[in-house]
Amino acid sequence: MADTPTPHIGAQYGEIAETVLMAGDPLRAKFIADNFLTNPVQFNEVRGMLGYTGTYGGKRVSVMGHGMGIPSIGIYSYELYNFYGVKTIIRVGSAGSYHPDLKLGDLVIAQGACTDSNYGAQFGLPGTFAPIADFDLLRKAAAACEERGLHYMVGNILSSDVFYSDNPQSESWRKMGVLAVEMEAAALYMNAARSGKRALVICTISDHILTGEEMSADERRTTFTNMMEVALSLI
């Protein structure tokens, strides 16, 4: 297509599969490609945002980084959906737990994504849009967790624009039943809705807001294999 490569993705049309797993850290995308995909071929290195296409269980799949925050995933997911024919994006990320029963290493499947971002204003809606996951992907992910005996929870998460806050509001969100906080899901779900495509966010709890526990950057990159296997089972 004439619109590819895009300003942020160096691939030609057809080099990216219809299903893409995305991670904030591009090295996590490389880890998935190296450890789970057969014959992975790199399709992107623009801005260091690594992307690969290979096969898993005989099915074609791509993996790619999306960077940190709503503006970053907003750009990459928009280009994938609208210029590369991608039909499904599954974010495999990290999140901070607000819930006492969600421990380090547990999974949270984002049924919906609350946000303090103004990203949705661009759509000019006469109200507040509720960004939600594709239900078919969500129910299959929950079933995959059950089959593997994994501890997980399904529900609302918060996609926050702020990492270092002058006025933390974690208790307010927790009171509303929000399970965890990350920084991208709301934009991905909005872009999927606007494009008529599918999206799901699965996160591994990497730190706990209530207890102060946290994983190292290296642990986040290399130990999220349960989440990766669940996501790959959905393709």
Positions annotated as catalytic residues are 207
Instruction: Give, as one character, the DSSP assignment of residue 121.
Output: G
Using the structure block, give the residue that is written with the tokens 């078919």: 136
Which residues partner with 56 through β-bridges? 59
* Token code pair at residue 141: 């992910």
| Cross-strand bridge partners of residue 52 | 42, 63
Interatomic CA distance for residues 232 and 230, integer angstroms: 6
Taking Cα atoms as reference points, which of 27, 61, 48, 72 lies closest to residue 229?
A: 61
Label the pairing between strands 19-23 and 59-65: parallel
Determine the Cα–Cα distance for residues 46 and 215; give it in Å rounded to an integer.
28
Whether the Cβ atoms of residue 67 and residue 73 lie closer than 8 Å to each other: yes
Q: 221 — phi, psi (to 5°)?
A: -75, -35
Pairing of strands 107-115, 152-159: parallel
**Burial of 150 (C-beta count, 10 Å sphere; 0-12/13-18/19+):** middle
Q: Which two tokens stand for residue 60?
A: 């074609």
